[in-house]
Structure 1
Amino acid sequence: MKSYSQFYINGGWVDSHSSTLTSVINPATEAQIATVPEGNAQDVDDAVMAARAAFESWSNTPSAERADIIRRVSDLLEQRVDEIAAVISAELGSPIAHAKAVQSEEPIEGMRMYADFCSMMDEDQEEGNSLIVKEAIGVCSFINPWNYPLLQIVGKVAPALAAGCTMVVKPSEVTPLNAFILAEIMDEAGVPAGVFNLVSGLGPVVGEAMCVHPEVDMVSFTGSTRAGVRIAELAAPSVKRVCQELGGKSPMIITEDLSAEEFATAVEYAMGDVMFNSGQTCTALTRLLVPAYRLAEANAVAKAYVEGLKVGEPGDEEAFLGPMSSAQQRNTVLNYIQIGIDEGAELVSGGVERPAGFSQGYYVSPTVFSQVNNQMRIAREEIFGPVTCILPYQNLAEAITVANDTPYGLSSAVWAGSKDAGLAIARKLRAGQVYVNGGEYNFLAPFGGYKQSGNGREWGREAMHEFIEVKAIQL
């Protein structure tokens, strides 16, 4: 695994002003696999000023030229997809099949989509005697998470490039290596100097400097609600635009009008959704609401399904779950499992013991709790691991009330006897997205949350608006 000693700033690789290096740990082996530089505020200043210098030219580059560059970036990502998958599998612990299909191939799809959206910047509008035009917002700071590292970076970088913005990118210190590969690709693709800049480091140092810098116009952050509040506070004095995708505690309602086969399919869908990426997904449907008289049925299906999932090493093609991303994350998840036991929830499967066959690595057994009520901590707080809760309800009105009784509102789901019935329930759920009867994720749809799950939207055409200023010219 390649180590990096420099940042990518102003179209070249440059030394950091700090001599500190961050170790990248393979969570399956607990061994160091690489190092990257740990930047400081001076590194951020260099990157921001490079982005500021490049902004006028890039924002005035014809949209067709920006689209061509985005397509070149997409093509180069595709050429290195196997390498990227191997790197993310090693630094995150993602099973290799998932690392390729989701962590590496989907960012290519997302990046390529924005080549077609560049022309949105040319769409002027006439209203009465006014000409309404779009302009790029300016220099952007992108602070990224570790759970879907490249996908989340692309979700910010691609629409920003399409709009004509310049940027400074900070990857998570847990999974930084994929971002350095992206910087290599940006350079090879001919992205002009200063448009894309990469500085790795710690949130309280590099991240905070990116939020307060006076030459930054917009901050986009994905991560915890706690960190999101801090970022909003830092950005407020200079009135920067802030786009945030934060925590979640997403519900899924299964209605009572399903056959046994349909009911089992719905429960299995919910379990698979939570356990994917070892539970490290902000949209995970971690609260499953089922009719009280079918609780035992749900427990049996959930237990059989979860215990049939393979926990394996990241290189295992058949593994569904790998380790947690870090020792800290493993300890957090195990603490929540113990809290659930102490709160009196019924432990259907899993627990605090290591999965069988693993003496090292940050592994957690996939865990299912039942007989959970919505006031328990395991039902209200984001665990971010392979842990799910089954909650019984007496009637549909109660289910909807419980589903909405959360400080979050990122995602949700419903599985009903018909599409129309599911859609009627979906309209009553206070969340940024709702999956009805197993509907698939769609990059063309806006992604973001209500309440403490954040503000603003990523993906689709809606994401472009986060990077656009609208000007009215009165004629």
Structure 2
Amino acid sequence: MDFNKLYINGAWISAKSKDTISVINPSDESVVGVVPNADSEDVKLAINAAKNAKENWQNTPFRVRIKYLYKAMKELKKMSSELNDIVLSELGSPITWTVKVQVNDSIRIFERFINLAQSYEFEKHFGNYILRKEPIGVVLAITPWNYPIYQVVQKVVPALLCGNTVVLKPSSETPITAHYFVEAFNRVGLPNGVLNLVTGSGDELSSHLIKDENVDMISFTGSTSVGKIISMKAGQSFKRLALELGGKSPCIVLEDGDINIACQKVMNSCFLNSGQTCSALSRILVPKSLKNSVIQNIKDNVSKYKPSILQNPDTLVGTLVSKKQKQKVLGMVNDALKEGATLEAGSINSDDNAIFEPILLCVKKDMFIAKNEVFGPVLCLIEYESLEDAINIANDTRYGLSAAVIGSYERAIEVAKKIKSGQVYINNSPSLFEAPFGGYKESGIGREGGLYGFDEFLETKAILNG
């Protein structure tokens, strides 16, 4: 596949822009591929294609839309092996995690959206009015690098099923994965203009996309700082917004909590994917009576998460996405140590590469690192004095994306109700596709996943007929 192409109006075409972006493998700094760095002319072509296609796609019978997406999902499954190789190379993700989570889970979610859509009520009749859910129009989907196919699925699939057309702008760190996703739709003959792909980087490109009057909605996943910029620019024309942003998610361990469950949960959440997960449980809040036991448990197990050869099936953790990301993480850790944090588990590697070993820091609740997102495998342990103190610490950030409570069920549920967070896990509860995902406060606007994932891409209309 030629990655130095854009997908616009049903065809892979050369960009008007002659500028390109080299995609770098963070594990060995080799060039994975080259993609276009699109300009305003390319953006206009993509958005106009989506605009011109939206009426026909909205009027396409739902059963026909379902067929297109089901066929595309099957094509994507056929590409699983190639996707595994690309995600491993673009992201520095180890093979087992790549296969299971990055690729297979993404395709599984794709299929579940298709199945769930068939039970969604796009029209309901009440006594004296009809409630209709209608497509918004042209959706701009801006996706991050940390889950390069999963996040594309979360936005593009429900948007298309609901009858919207889409312009997809993936991260410039991991854009090649998106080429495979779009190629799956190309192979099944999706009508021209329904799905378009624009690659590139920089404020100028994003500004052209966001401000275009023909974009009706923006769905963005990324940092809170960028989300604020998008919100301000999009607000000038009152575009619909769905923002899934940063987090500093707490795990509160109650006095009667199971330490093994707590430590396993936070290490998997904070260390897998090299800590590059917006909902990572990056703070573990413990009472004084459990502090030493928790530290020892993590010390005994942190070596399991040591970065190693990506192709080795036993490797749990790979590299960070880039050396630049490592410098950001390293800078926050060094600042925390200067502020008085102590390194309790793991070791700090300052070498000139993208490898950062998972670590545990003991921090005070008012430290910068205790309240701000690191986006790396850095777990912060904070001691609390009382249950009220624990809840206050959990809520004392600008974020509210995810959380967990470990303890007896009844007490854990009561604590969960007091945490300002879009999701709260109780003990060993697994993640659920059906449950809405999204945040309070500066963690975003809107929800993804399950039936709620459709609501974001629909307008609500009441027809009064009484």
**TM-superposed deviation, 1:293:** 2.1
Q: Deviations along 1:141-168, whole A, 9 cap, x unmatched?
A: 0111000011001100011011000010
Residues 1:474 and 1:388: Cα distance change in structure 2 (over 3 Å): same
What CA distance in whole angstroms lies between the structure 2 residues aligned with 1:281 and 1:309? 15
2:464 equivalent to 1:468: no
Structure 2 equivalent of residue 67 of structure 1: 66
Which of 380-389 and 304-313 deviates more?
304-313
* Residue aligning to 2:195: 196
Q: Specify whether residues 352 and 263 from structure 1 end up closer, same or farther in structure 2 by C-alpha distance, changes over 3 A only.
A: closer
Q: SS at the partner of 1:449?
A: coil
Q: Give the letter aligned to residue 449 of structure 2.
A: W
The aligned counterpart of 1:414 is 405
Q: TM-score, normalised by structure 2?
A: 0.97
Residue of 333, 337, 341 corresponding to 1:337 = 333
Q: Which residue of 2 aligns with 1:186?
A: 185
Specify the SS of the correspondent of 2:141.
strand
Query: Retained in 2: the 8 A contact 1:30–1:360?
Result: no
Among residues 287, 294, 299, which one is paired with 2:283 in the alignment? Answer: 287
Q: Which residue does the alignment assign to 1:374?
A: 365
**Does 1:160 pair with 2:159?**
yes
Q: Corresponding residue for 1:362? A: 354
| Equivalent position SS for 1:323 | coil
Question: Structure 1: 5+ residue runs without aligned partners?
Answer: none
Paired amino acid for 1:186: F
Aligned mates of 1:139, 1:186 — CA distance in 2: 17
Aligned position for 1:396: 387
- Tell me what 1:252 maps to: 251
Query: Which residue number in structure 2 is paired with residue 8 of structure 1?
Result: 7
Q: Offset at 1:207? A: 2.1
**What's 1:297 paired with?**
293
Q: Where do residues 185-334 of structure 1 align in structure 2 (5 Å cutoff)?
A: 185-258=184-257, 262-334=258-330
Letter in 1 for 2:393: V
Would you say 1:441 and 2:431 are equivalent positions?
Answer: yes
Residue 430 of structure 1 corresponds to 420
User: Cα RMSD between the aligned structures?
Assistant: 1.4
Cα drift, residue 202 of structure 1: 0.8
Q: Letter of the aligned partner of 1:365 in structure 2?
A: E
Match of 1:23 in 2: 22
* Identity within the alignment, %: 39
C-alpha deviation, 1:257, in angstroms? 1.2
307 and 212 in structure 1: CA distance in 2 versus 1, 3 angstrom threshold: same
In structure 1, distance between residues paired with 2:70 and 2:87:
22
How far is the alpha carbon of 1:206 from its aligned partner? 2.5
1:24, distance to aligned residue in structure 2 (A): 0.5
Displacement of 1:20 after TM fit? Answer: 0.7
Return the letter of the residue paired with 1:470. Answer: T
Distance in 2 separating the partners of 1:189 and 1:18: 28
For 1:265, the aligned partner's letter is I
Query: Matches of 2:353 and 2:100 in 1, distance apart?
Result: 23
Per-residue deviation, 1:120:
5.7
Aligned length: 465
**Structure 1 residue 350: deviation in Å?**
3.0
Tell me the SS of whatever aligns to 2:158.
Answer: helix
